[in-house]
Amino acid sequence: MKSVRIVGYAFGGLSAAYAGYYMVLYLTRWEWQRALMSGVLLLVVEVFLATVVLLTRFSRLEQRMEQSEARVEEVRQRLQQTRGPHPNRFRWMSSAQMQELDGTQHTFVFVPVLMAAGAALSGIAMVLQKLAGATARPGAERRLAGRLAALTAPPLGPRVGRTALEGRPAVPPARTRTTLVGVGAAVAGLVLVPVLWTALADATQTRAEETPDAAGTTMVFRVETTAAGGDTALRLAAQDLWETCRRSTAAQNDRATLSRLEDGVYSAVIRPALPDHDVMRLRGCIEDASTNRTSAVVLGEGQAHTRR
């Protein structure tokens, strides 16, 4: 059971690291659909790990409760075995005592018997005594057994992996290595988080950049679609994808043209030239291909410089 739990934790941890890495990678590439899918996968893995941890804790808690109840029941049984017979406080009302009179004058017996009120009150008192003995004693014994369970010896059985009480130190040794590792991990996290935050912010920034010294930006990409319609559907899918992605840049690209080179291959030219960050955003949008039943891959890109 422990090995299965370790395997589950290892699988969940590696899956979470894998999904988190690709989520950040797709964010830096401006591939929002893939980043969203990776984020959802990361959330699912985190819920899976949390569920496994909760189920493990619940299982341990249930086992401890069962062991505690078993020990309490054992102590209660011991208390019940050692309890002496309780005296019969209503012996004078039993038939045996009435037969032992043998005609002798025992007025302390016959007077309350002859009185209807005394007999009724005695019967009610006997019923109350029986009810009290039947209801209060088990609860009191169970509470007493619960208090005494902590003083009982541990259950007998195989002591695999346990250290004898005499072999344990009175004061546990200081865990210097664990403390140093924890402090080092905390310091590394405090240093690494701002660096990663800054890098991700620079990769996904939307501020305008300086226009490069070039006549235009050229990008060649291949488009594939599973929609029915042949070349017409392919041309419409490429046009739709291009019109959607060219608006994803921060720089103005009103002068943008799309030309077909061959089957499924298109060349796009944008004037004036786009900065490097906008080129990365445009490439990420095209390869992300959020259009229905359409996929695309960028074959090449570059800046077209003017001849001097």
Per-residue three-class SS string for 92-157: HHCHHHHHCCCCCCCHHHHHHHHCHHHHHHHHHHHHHHHHHHHHHHHHHHHHHHHHHHHHCCCCCC
Please compute the mean of the pLDDT values over residues 291-303 and round it to a whole number.
Answer: 85
The SS3 of residue 291 is coil
- Domain assignment present for residue 106? The answer is no
Is residue 141 located within the same domain as residue 227? Answer: no
Window from 61-65, 88-92, 101-105 with minimum mean pLDDT: 101-105
Q: How far apart are CA 72 and CA 291, in angstroms?
A: 67
Window from 20-29, 139-148, 173-182, 219-228 with minimum mean pLDDT: 139-148
Can you give the pLDDT at residue 201?
Answer: 75
Is residue 145 located within the same domain as residue 278? Answer: no
Q: How far apart are CA 300 and CA 283, in angstroms?
A: 10
Q: Which domain holds residue 65?
A: 1-83+126-151
- Residue 245's pLDDT band (boundaries 50, 70, 90)? confident
Q: How far apart are CA 157 and CA 152, in angstroms?
A: 15
- Domain assignment present for residue 201? The answer is no
Is residue 146 located within the same domain as residue 51? Answer: yes
What are the backbone dihedrals phi and psi of residue 252, each rounded to the nearest 5 degrees, phi first?
-70, 135
Can you give the pLDDT at residue 90?
Answer: 54
Which H or E run contains 21?
helix 2-28
pLDDT at 13 over 90: no
pLDDT at 100 over 60: no
Beta-bridge partners for 174:
none
Is residue 256 located within the same domain as residue 139? Answer: no
Can you give the pLDDT at residue 7?
Answer: 81
151, 166, 191 — which closes off a domain? Answer: 151
The larger pLDDT score, comparing residue 253 to residue 169, is at: 253
User: What's the mean pLDDT when you consider all of the chain?
Assistant: 77
Can you give the pLDDT at residue 89?
Answer: 58
Length of the chain: 308
The total number of structural domains in the chain stands at 2
Is residue 136 located within the same domain as residue 221? Answer: no
pLDDT at 154 over 70: no
Give the N- to C-terminal CA distance of the chain in Å, as an integer. 75
Structure tokens at 276: 């490097």
Can you give the pLDDT at residue 220?
Answer: 92
**pLDDT per residue over 31-85, tens digit each?**
888 888 999 999 999 998 888 889 888 988 888 888 888 877 887 777 777 766 6
- Domain assignment present for residue 173? The answer is no
No. of helices (H) and no. of strands (E), the chain: 8, 4
- Residue 150's pLDDT band (boundaries 50, 70, 90)? low
pLDDT at 261 over 80: yes
Please compute the mean of the pLDDT values over residues 197-203 and round it to a whole number.
Answer: 75
CATH of the domain at 283: 3.30.70.1130
- Domain assignment present for residue 244? The answer is yes
What are the backbone dihedrals phi and psi of residue 225, each rounded to the nearest 5 degrees, phi first?
-140, 150
Is residue 132 located within the same domain as residue 257? Answer: no
151, 186, 203 — which closes off a domain? Answer: 151
Structure tokens at 283: 């490439």
Is residue 143 located within the same domain as residue 10? Answer: yes
- Domain assignment present for residue 117? The answer is no
Is residue 43 located within the same domain as residue 141? Answer: yes
What are the backbone dihedrals phi and psi of residue 244, each rounded to the nearest 5 degrees, phi first?
-75, -45
Most confident of 99-108, 184-193, 195-204: 184-193
- Domain assignment present for residue 241? The answer is yes
- Domain assignment present for residue 188? The answer is no
Is residue 146 located within the same domain as residue 223? Answer: no
Can you give the pLDDT at residue 164?
Answer: 55
Cβ atoms within 10 A of the Cβ of 202, count?
A: 10
